[in-house]
């Protein structure tokens, strides 16, 4: 019986005690704010290009290059902490909510498709650059 009680106490301590973790830079509110500004800027450029009759590929490339130029010349020190995948997800959500319906993408499936499409075109368009540095 005492063995069972000791085992129970041991497992309770091991499994119920909080783990030590370190804060990530991506949880920094200033990084989130910068990501939000970048995604809003990208979405505006992409959606305007689509409305002006550019193809999806042309609009994507144009918006990536224009947004990349703005970020590259930014003096914001937080840009180095932006993760490309997090930014791509935020951009995808913003674009699909703003104008996804105009080119047939809606909901979670649309966001997932646009996310992978963005990352593919981004890697082809800017192979030596990072939006975040």
By C-alpha distance, which of 100, 111, 120 is closest to 57? 120
For the cut 90, the answer to whether the pLDDT of residue 124 exceeds it is no
**What's the pLDDT tens digit per position in 33-86?**
888 999 999 999 999 999 999 999 999 999 998 888 777 766 777 777 888 899
The CA distance from 97 to 81, in Å, is: 25
Rounded to the nearest angstrom, the gap between the alpha carbon of residue 48 and the centroid of all alpha carbons in its chain is 21
Whole-number average pLDDT of the chain:
80
By C-alpha distance, which of 87, 89, 83, 85 is closest to 110? 89
Rounded to the nearest angstrom, the gap between the alpha carbon of residue 63 and the centroid of all alpha carbons in its chain is 15
Please identify which residue in the block is written with the tokens 């509110």. 29
Higher per-residue confidence, 12 vs 85: 85
For the cut 50, the answer to whether the pLDDT of residue 21 exceeds it is no
For the cut 70, the answer to whether the pLDDT of residue 31 exceeds it is yes
The pTM (predicted TM-score) of the whole model is: 0.71
The CA distance from 130 to 35, in Å, is: 13
The CA distance from 57 to 31, in Å, is: 28
For the cut 70, the answer to whether the pLDDT of residue 17 exceeds it is no
- Write down the pLDDT at residue 12: 53
Q: Rounding to the nearest 10 degrees, give the CA dihedral for residues 122, 124, 126, 130.
A: 50
């Amino acid at each position: 019986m005492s063995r069972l009680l000791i085992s129970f106490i041991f497992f309770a301590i091991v499994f119920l005690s909080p783990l030590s973790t370190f804060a990530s830079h991506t949880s920094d509110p200033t990084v989130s704010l910068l990501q939000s500004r970048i995604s809003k800027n990208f979405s505006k450029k992409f959606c305007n290009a689509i409305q002006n009759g550019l193809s999806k590929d042309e609009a994507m490339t144009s918006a990536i290059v224009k947004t990349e130029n703005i970020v590259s010349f930014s003096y914001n020190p937080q840009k180095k902490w932006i993760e490309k995948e997090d930014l791509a997800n935020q951009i995808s959500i913003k674009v699909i909510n703003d104008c996804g319906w105009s080119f047939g993408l809606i909901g979670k499936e649309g966001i997932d498709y646009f996310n992978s499409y963005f990352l593919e075109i981004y890697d082809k368009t800017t192979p030596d650059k990072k939006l975040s540095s």
